[in-house]
Structure 1
Amino acid sequence: MGQRTGVRRGAVAVLLAVVTAGCGVSGPGLDDGSDPAEGAGHSALAVKIDNVGAARPQTGLDAADIVYAEQVEGGLSRLMAVYATELPEAVGPVRSARESDLELLRQFDEPTLAFSGAQGRLLPVIDGAPVRAEAPKDAPDAYYRDAGRRAPHNLYVRPGRLLDSAPGEDVLTTGFRYGPAPGGGTPRNSYTVRYPSAGFTFTWSGERKRWLVSMDGAPTVTTDGERVAAATVVVQYVEVRQSAYQDFRGSNTPYSETVGAGKARVLRDGREYEVNWQRPVASGGTEFTTAAGGPMNFAEGQVWVVLAPA
């Protein structure tokens, strides 16, 4: 991927649909002649991915350009994988959207969002957002259920039936900069981020020149046996507050504030950098700068952004 320095502002539109167990039955390799949605292919694809133990190993996670990790109900975690330069055959398990996703996704220029559903009171908010999204009700041929897994951890999406092609790196309008590492930094072999009921550990591999990802104490491996590894890891410290929504058990849904400013730690090339982040408006990207005020360049390759409580 080439260096991406610009921030493109655009509104994100999200539609919402509730998934039923009967949605799709065929596997990802079958072609029924269906076409991607008209106009698809010119935006990034964001997929909400289940991240509890029953959902692992996940599918297609290693092909993402960016993986966001956020705290959800009960102190657990959920992922949102963003695809632009490669569309894997399948991604999942797919799960529901959250209110904070709408704010996070606005830094992209009209992304497509694949997700399974959301809290009922959130539906009007999502329906009113100027976004393009594809839930199973809207694109049933793009989704299928794996009979070998138990619901709700068995819903998968075929990205090639939502986008006509990989749109390319230009749609990654996050404000991230890629290039040579800045001076300084501290040697680091591993780094762990903990939520109340979940944890992420990133371990530097000099052989692969990547940070090997582990979740909840176990190596993160996809269903095809690929060990997930990031070129850059961003631990972005944000305000995590209560939202106005709850899950079906009555647990409050956390809201991670990604507009504003704060501290972060960036891991690249076996070193840790203490940096600042800034995103003044929701329609803009997030800039990361060193303590000296210069740009914090990321290494080329997959980026993980863990939204951690400040």
Structure 2
Amino acid sequence: MRPVATVGRERGARGRRAATTAALLAATVTAALAAGCTGGNGPRDDGRGSADASERGTTPAATGPSLLAVKLDNAAAARPHTGLDAADVVYAEQVEGGLSRLMAVYATQVPEAVGPVRSARESDLELLRQFDRPILAFSGAQKKLLPLIDRAPLRAETPGSASEAYFRGSGKPAPHNLYLRPERLVPEAPGQAALTTGFRYGSAPVGGTATTSQTVRYPAARFTFTWSDSRDRWLVGMDGAPATTADGKRMAAATVVVQYVKVRESGFRDFMGNNTPYTETVGSGKAKVLRDGRAYDVNWKRADPTDGTAFTTGDGTPVNFAKGQVWVVYAKAS
């Protein structure tokens, strides 16, 4: 296994030699593409069977600023999070062992730091198809998953491919201390138009049920959202404790969506043999939308991976979200 620094020096040398002749450049590109197809030669991510993507090819960046999605650790040792309160959308999903991971999506603002960053999952690729060539920042992935990431219409950035964008914090033990400097990947926020989620914002639907709290349970994790009249927000709790940011602020969402989806086994397992759940975000089903202290039972539909998700009432009326951060928690449909 070669250190990332050694890989960088070798690539720099190849680049200088390639500049001497067109023929050598073509040979180097061919070799690089071949390496990108195999992947998995970089260092391990976190001891859970994940490999860094420093040696694989990445999708070229889209023209103009790109939306940024960051895969976040959500183990107790990883909290409190940094930069999570600046995300436009936070997705929560079940992973191995019944635990949870988060994906934070940034379009309207870019914080100074985000983390802790962890590894990608197969479900992330389907979820991100709704965006136009987003940047996916993550710590690594299983070797078998790297070819799928290669083929996905996104720009993958790991500590191996963008070492200057990552750093290790001192307040938490590894692997819960890897952080991202987003401005190194996204110099400017792409803006609201990049959020092709299908979400609509506006006045609340009619009806609904007055609700003070909603809990979503995974086998080894849970999320609780408690309505605060004074803040006009849903206060976030994780595993029975208030969720705060690194600077002590209570995390809060304007809208919470509990989306009931199919969660099935994938073709991947961690190093202990636990299967990685695959969360299907394309299809249709039921959901609960929380806003303004009320809960609305709605339907969701995402017909194609490139589509956003539409939320409607029983008569087909689109459901508006409250303006502000949205949390989408994927729960297993019964």
* TM-score bracket, shorter-length normalisation: 0.7 to 0.9
Structure 1 residue aligned with 2:68: 45
Q: Is the 8 A contact 1:198 1:216 kept in 2?
A: yes
Cα 1:98–1:204 shift into 2, 3 Å: same
Q: CA deviation at 1:136?
A: 1.1
Decide which structure has greater helix share. Answer: 2
Equivalent of 1:177, from 195, 200, 215? 200
Structure 2 residue aligned with 1:192: 215
Aligned length: 281
Alpha-carbon distance in 2 for matches of 1:104, 1:201: 23
Q: Is the 8 A contact 1:62 1:228 kept in 2?
A: yes
State the SS of the aligned residue for 2:77.
Answer: helix
Matches within 5 A, 1:153-302: 153-302=176-325
Alpha-carbon distance in 2 for matches of 1:102, 1:130: 9
Alpha-carbon distance in 1 for matches of 2:167, 2:82: 13
Cα 1:96–1:82 shift into 2, 3 Å: same
Q: Is the 8 A contact 2:300 2:312 kept in 1?
A: yes
Unaligned runs of 5+ in 2: 1-38, 46-59
Matches within 5 A, 1:80-91: 80-91=103-114
Alpha-carbon distance in 1 for matches of 2:203, 2:66: 27
Q: Is the 8 A contact 2:97 2:220 kept in 1?
A: yes
Q: Which runs of 4+ in 1 moved over 4 A?
A: 16-21, 37-41
Post-superposition Cα deviations, 1:80-119, rounded to whole Å, max 9, x if no partner, equal 0000111110000000000000000001111111000111
TM-score normalised to structure 1 length: 0.88
Specify the code of the residue in structure 1 equivalent to 2:103: M
Q: CA deviation at 1:148?
A: 2.8
Post-superposition Cα deviations, 1:111-132, rounded to whole Å, max 9, x if no partner, equal 1110001112111111122321
**Higher Rg of the two aligned structures:** 2
Task: Give the superposed CA RMSD.
Answer: 1.7
Unaligned runs of 5+ in 1: 1-15, 22-36
Identity %: 69
Alpha-carbon distance in 2 for matches of 1:82, 1:309: 22
Q: Is the 8 A contact 1:201 1:213 kept in 2?
A: yes
